[in-house]
Amino acid sequence: MKNLAKLKLLALDITSKNYLSWVLDAKIYMDAMGLGDTIKDGNEASSQNKANAMIFLCHHLHEELKFKFLTIKDPLILWQNLKEKYDHQMIIILPKAHYDLHLQLQDFKSVSDYNFSMFNISSKLKLYGDNIIDGDMLEKTFFTFHASNVFLQ
């Protein structure tokens, strides 16, 4: 538990650039500290746990966000308000990830660059609920081979 204090959770940026990674990291940190239930619907967390969760969340918010949500005392309400404010990214990221799936192997300098892009896109899709399996990724890769390289399939 002491090692967790050494790890650094970046503050949620007011521009929401790091919202997705912040949410995932904050959930992990809060679960590790035994405070994960405080941000779930219908929780019966103690007032001490709620206070600790609020301290943790407020400590990892941008200064302007702290002032905006200054009057909120319940971590669940704060969590829901942040979600309402920033979770719209799904509307932006998901269609972009689907569009980015149209990448071509020959557009990359190396296979590892292509794999990096493919895994980056697939992780975004999985994060937002689209289940993409390895077979689909292989089929996509084979489909992008140039006609002269069909024997590689």
| Together in a domain, 80 and 9 | yes
How many C-alpha atoms does 29 have within 13 Å on its Cβ side?
22
- Number of independent structural domains in the chain: 2
Do 36 and 76 belong to one domain?
yes
CB atoms within 10 A of CB 71: 7
Residues 64 and 110 in one domain: no
User: pLDDT for 10-61, tens place per residue?
Assistant: 888 888 778 888 888 899 999 999 999 999 998 889 999 999 999 999 999 9
Specify whether 82 is located in the same domain as 19: yes
The answer on 99 and 60 residing in a single domain is no
Segment 141-150, tens digit of pLDDT? 666 666 665 5
- Of 86, 107, 131, which one is at a domain's C-terminal end? 86
Question: Position 86: which residue type?
Answer: Y
| pTM score of the predicted model | 0.67
Contact between 149 and 106 (Cβ < 8 Å): no
Domain hosting 101: range is: 89-152
